[in-house]
Amino acid sequence: MQAEYVIVGAGSGGSAVAFRLAEAGHSVIVVEFGGSDAGPFIQMPGALSYPMNMKRYDWGMASEPEPGLGGRSLVTPRGKVIGGSSSINGMVYVRGHARDYDHWAEQGADGWSYADVLPYFKRLEHWHGEADAGGGAEWRGTAGPLHISRGRRENPLFNAFIEAGRQAGYPVTRDYNGQQQEGFGAMEATIRQGVRWSAARAYLKPALKTGRVRLVRGLAAKVVIEGGKATGVALSDGRVITAGREVILAASSLNTPKLLMLSGIGPAAHLAEHGIAVVADRPGVGANLQDHLELYLQFATKTPISLYKYWNLWGKAWVGAQWLVLGRGPGASNQFESCGFIRSAAGVDYPDIQYHFLPIAVRYDGRAVAEGHGFQTHVGPMRSKSRGSVRLRSKDPADNPVIRFNYMSHPDDWTDFRAAIRLTREIMDQPAMALHVKHEIQPGAAVQSDEALDAFIREHAESAFHPCGTARMGRRDDPMAVVDPQGKVIGVEGLRVADSSVFPRITNGNLNGPSILVGEKMADHILGKDPLPASNLEPWINPDWAVAQR
């Protein structure tokens, strides 16, 4: 039960670190509480609503009642399975905007500007979208472990949405993960030949095959710290796994801060409340919690054009059988095949609203709309100013933490969300979509005033399941930083964090790609390698951003 490196968490960041450490010849133990990812619910992209609602695969966390959302408690799925949340997520692949990473560097994450991280994105990617994107390959990687593809967009609603964006005056982008994020275009996914391509498939299983990585099933109770140095990980059953070199936490932005606090690293007063001896007083542990909220704006269609025709027992059986036997059909796609990134107002220099388009009106919990044929666009602001926290519920490592997002606690969030709804309606009024739209199901045409929109937001906003930021990177003299730009926990030797906890600020879009990036780049820091040479490619920023919304 010992190795040079012990990693807690077999998710996006942890699997990438394990792969790179094994590649460099080191012995690694990965501690994971969850089990196998075998079975069609995880592997079939079209079944994505199932695993995140299954106790077998999900930690079962939820927020405390959220005052800004009328006291609702929102579920917060996190993957309890190899591959972590990359095994239960929607498979959407978004790098984030170049400016996101420049902001990280400005906040003290030296070496994490866009020029610094682009080479790592290229290293991790095996991109299959070149033909569709019309070139631009210098921005993308084609030999990495993570397969990234585009859906076929066979349903006419996908291209109608992109065309409606163009008709509304927005750019069309050939590759939002390349030079130009802003605009409407094809969405990318971690899917390979009709199968979910999780971090387990891309990184963990190849790492295990080397024989240098072992997977240990168990619940991490705390990091063992002796004389100010992390020497291993104690499991809840009494086993201790010893690390000859370092311990790396990659247990998610909700469980990593919990583990740090259980180990005596966190806000001293909070640790004292639970009778935990303070090893390092770091008030930033569990602070700075961020997420993306979104609304499902739903529309009924004039004709039976949507995927609703499969939303019955026989339809689902046919989709499942076609995927199992032939590896294709609706089950081979996550059905998020077109998207948009726009700016909410003039003076916003890069997109702050994201669209996921889905050719059926359905919820993440799998409940379809009673009205039948329709579609929806998930829309929400990208850079909420609200901040929340993760705190210990007790000293028991089996207890989920206390999660408070403080959604909508900043007044600007309301302004941004109203803008997102109104801009969406304008897009749906364009000829390309008007051709298909029978009427607006949700919020409904009657919901127009600021007050009515606010009431709808309060009642219907849902998490996009992108929590991050709870052990943020920064300079060592920053009192609220938890790790330095190399991922080292400030105040403890031999301990790092390599997951979305380290994000200083949430990135534009879905977080799986940036979480894998963190694992890739932290691995080089752990190995003491020189970072990959910075890129000199210049990302596109709308030249009229200061004076025009589009």
Q: Which domain holds residue 511?
A: 1-149+188-291+388-407+465-533
For residues 62 and 403, the answer to whether their CB atoms sit within 8 Å is: yes
SS3 category, 141: coil
Provide the number of structural domains found in the chain: 2
Render pLDDT for 72-105 as a digit per residue (tens, 0 to 9): 999 999 999 999 999 999 999 999 999 999 999 9
SS3 category, 494: coil
Q: What is the mean pLDDT of residues 367-393?
A: 92
Nearest to 189 by CA among 345, 45, 44: 45
Render pLDDT for 490-544 as a digit per residue (tens, 0 to 9): 999 999 999 999 999 999 999 999 999 999 999 999 999 999 999 999 999 999 9
Same domain assignment for residues 167 and 44 = no
Q: What is the mean pLDDT of residues 54-62?
A: 96
SS3 category, 109: coil
Kind of pairing, strands 146-150 and 125-127? parallel
The answer to the question of residue 94 being in a domain is yes
CA distance 206 to 213: 9
- In sequence order, what are the residues at sequence separation of 6 or more whose Cβ sits closer than 8 angstroms to the Cβ of residue 38? none
Q: What confidence category does residue 40 fall into, taking pLDDT thresholds of 50, 70 and 90? A: very high
Same domain assignment for residues 45 and 177 = no
Q: What is the mean pLDDT of residues 129-140?
A: 84
10 Å Cβ neighbour count for 547? 8
Same domain assignment for residues 16 and 91 = yes
Question: Does the pLDDT of residue 290 top 70, yes or no?
Answer: yes
Q: What is the 3-state secondary structure (H, E, C) of 196-215?
A: ECCHHHHHHHHHHHCCCEEE
For residues 208 and 23, the answer to whether their CB atoms sit within 8 Å is: no
Q: What is the mean pLDDT of residues 194-201?
A: 98
Same domain assignment for residues 413 and 506 = no
Same domain assignment for residues 107 and 29 = yes
Render pLDDT for 163-185 as a digit per residue (tens, 0 to 9): 999 999 999 999 999 999 999 99
The answer to the question of residue 89 being in a domain is yes
Question: Does the pLDDT of residue 136 top 80, yes or no?
Answer: no
Which pLDDT does position 413 carry in this prediction? 98
For residues 175 and 117, the answer to whether their CB atoms sit within 8 Å is: no
SS3 category, 296: strand
Maximal CA-CA distance, the chain: 69
Which pLDDT does position 129 carry in this prediction? 92
The answer to the question of residue 415 being in a domain is yes
Main-chain dihedrals φ then ψ at residue 217, nearest 5 degrees: -80, 130
Which pLDDT does position 484 carry in this prediction? 98
Residue 466 falls in the annotated catalytic set: yes
Bond preceding residue 514 cis, omega within 30 of 0: no
Q: What confidence category does residue 432 fall into, taking pLDDT thresholds of 50, 70 and 90? A: very high
SS3 category, 234: strand
Q: Is 167 exposed, middle or buried (0-12, 13-18, 19+ CB in 10 A)?
A: middle
Is residue 486 left, alpha or beta, with left meaning phi > 0 and alpha meaning psi from -120 to 50? alpha
Which pLDDT does position 84 carry in this prediction? 98
CA distance 325 to 432: 36
The answer to the question of residue 544 being in a domain is no
Given 26, 103, 373, 466, the catalytic residue: 466
* CATH code where residue 453 lies: 3.30.410.40
The answer to the question of residue 542 being in a domain is no
Same domain assignment for residues 427 and 399 = no
Nearest to 489 by CA among 183, 226, 266, 306: 266
66, β-bridge pairs? 72
Render pLDDT for 232-250 as a digit per residue (tens, 0 to 9): 999 999 999 999 999 999 9
CA distance 481 to 104: 12
Provide the whole-model pTM.
0.98
Same domain assignment for residues 323 and 243 = no
Q: DSSP code of 56?
A: T
Same domain assignment for residues 340 and 475 = no
Same domain assignment for residues 75 and 86 = yes
The answer to the question of residue 541 being in a domain is no
For residues 213 and 30, the answer to whether their CB atoms sit within 8 Å is: yes
Q: Say which amino acid occupies 546.
A: A
The answer to the question of residue 548 being in a domain is no
Binding-site residues for FAD sit at 81, 89-92
Same domain assignment for residues 340 and 222 = no
Question: Does the pLDDT of residue 366 top 80, yes or no?
Answer: no
Question: Does the pLDDT of residue 133 top 90, yes or no?
Answer: no
For residues 30 and 14, the answer to whether their CB atoms sit within 8 Å is: yes
362, β-bridge pairs? 368
Rounded to 5°, the CA angle 133-433-366 comes to 85
Q: What is the mean pLDDT of the chain?
A: 96
Same domain assignment for residues 268 and 338 = no
* CATH code where residue 132 lies: 3.50.50.60
Same domain assignment for residues 435 and 302 = yes
Q: What is the mean pLDDT of residues 120-124?
A: 98
Question: Does the pLDDT of residue 132 top 90, yes or no?
Answer: no
The answer to the question of residue 80 being in a domain is yes
Q: What confidence category does residue 370 fall into, taking pLDDT thresholds of 50, 70 and 90? A: low
Q: How far is CA 484 from the centre of its chain?
A: 22
